[in-house]
Chain A
């Protein structure tokens, strides 16, 4: 056990998927970041930017192509199967679509207790008590244990998914778009629940694309574009005064209720995210960036510290080159 400030350290992580005979899809391309113990770090970006792949690689669901992930000082990539199993007690995941993340043939009690059973944490009456305790913690009635997933609504199923992840008392939670599939009013309930978990000293990697929600729930935000982190900083600072042109575009695209009086069109970002199979040579955002200069086409901008605790990957912003956004 190592009690350093950082629970997860990611160094030059790459995850490529093979496409066809010779091609490769660069889902995560050279990402380095640190996650502080007890913080909620959000990963945001458009679909296809590699945020889910990064989350899954960090938790060990995918083997990285190169680079390393260490958890509490232990290198995840070098773990033996036995160590991996022990690691699963510390790190858990919540998925986007609660309908497909839960086995429809199992009753909720068994779903929640999966971790308890696999790691043989408790049996018999103790197991039942723990299930009831977990269901109550996520705001469900203990009677839910005997029912099947199809008897629940999406929001309730997401609560079951959260209870399953919490069953083994993890230290680190990866939430992969846990609210995207839910109604607005249900989203708020789940977000409040996740905030409650924060008080339990959980470290949370929150993957999302709703920036208002991200600012509200997280301490720091990392913005991804085409497999790379383009901006990283305190959530409030990133959403109030975004520095990278992509972050700015992303934030201005969020619709706001403005009273219906004035013209209310979100700013438009032209074009689409380039193919990660043939990513551009220089800055990934080159083709869509309103401030692009000639140098951006050929030179890939590194992630640099532009302000204290604030990192951006943009040649037009400058900054001092420093390590990895710790």
Chain B
């Protein structure tokens, strides 16, 4: 299903925010690509830069205070970093669609759901008539499995539940069949049952339209339901990336271990405390030049607090930025794996 044709290519992306305290370096040299029909998850804690990365791809960041200070973004042939306003407006909606965390604040409360859907269609299809747009909009509503689509068409967002609103958001995002769908924490505000419904919907839409998806989440278990590849972000950098199988079975970075262990498993021993990652992420006002995870890492070595680790290639497509994977640290790595239980 996944082809080699790249929909999105991000190289060494750097984004900062100008604040009164100085420059916050939210994204510090992030590179990844997404192929046609592929789902990539960007996972990390709040403030790690995962949303900023996704918003930079669509250039939806408020500029100023945000600034893209370096790197390249190539979205389906468009140079996003240097594109003009017109190009960007044409690109949003038709080449890339976006779903946000809170469906209530992303829908217009004073417009009927149908009108908002129709707006997206008319904007990107200049030749389309009002009647056609309405028909297509009703079709989209049933495509995202909203019951009584025809009746729901003329209702307002306040008459929809959270899960239904998120479906409307998805319908708007896929209205013009974008090549890439960015879902920014699409299920965080939803119940587990609704979350399962939305994830299933995203999956079927993806396979029906051969769409690429970037799923942004802080929950690895949500990611494991949907994606082919995972990128783990910490303090504005991707610390580990690889195929879902590689990440979930043979995670290599101590931070990824920490994220996985902080979720209670169904067979969790109740007499033991949950594993946590002590401490908090570094301030990105003056990000450390060494490994940014070193102060919180159980397996920190001397080199970790001196130099930034390069990306070590562990397998096809699996890279990990951690000094433990340096050939000279093989013993240390073995000990760390045993101590953390991620053998």
Contacts and interface: CB of A to CB of B under 8 A. Distances in A.
B192 A257 contact: no
Interface in B257-296: 258-260, 262-266, 268, 270, 273-277, 280
Contacts of A209: 191-192
Contacts of B218: 183-184
Contacts of B200: 265-266, 268
A265 B206 CA distance: 14
A66 interface: no
Contact of A256 (B161, B193, B249, B266): B266
Given A250-B193, A257-B221, A257-B248, A184 B263 contact: yes
B161 A188 contact: no
Contact of A260 (B162, B244, B280): B244
A184 B188 CA distance: 11
A125 interface: no
B339 interface: no
Contacts of A254: 192, 221
A46 interface: yes
Interface in A189-234: 189, 191-192, 195, 209-213, 215-216
Nearest to B266: A212
Nearest to B263: A184
A154 interface: yes
Contact of A188 (B224, B245, B276): B276
Given A192-B276, A255-B222, A259-B248, A268 B264 contact: no
Contacts, number: 126
B196 interface: yes
A239 B200 CA distance: 23
B243 interface: yes
B196 A255 contact: yes
B195 A185 contact: no
B197 interface: yes
A268 B197 contact: yes
A266 B45 contact: no
A143 interface: no
A249 B280 CA distance: 36
Given A153-B280, A255-B225, 9 more contacts: A46-B193, A185-B262, A188-B262, A209-B192, A216-B274, A255-B195, A255-B224, A264-B224, A271-B147
Interface of A: 46-47, 153-154, 183-189, 191-192, 195, 209-213, 215-216, 236, 239-240, 249-250, 253-261, 264-269, 271-272
10 contacts: A183-B46, A191-B264, A192-B273, A236-B270, A253-B195, A255-B192, A255-B222, A256-B221, A257-B263, A265-B196
Interface of B: 45-46, 147, 161-164, 191-197, 199-200, 203, 218-222, 224-225, 243-245, 247-249, 258-260, 262-266, 268, 270, 273-277, 280
Q: Report the 8 A-B pairs with minimum CB-CB distance, sorted nearest first.
A: A260-B244, A188-B262, A266-B196, A188-B274, A253-B196, A216-B264, A255-B221, A260-B245
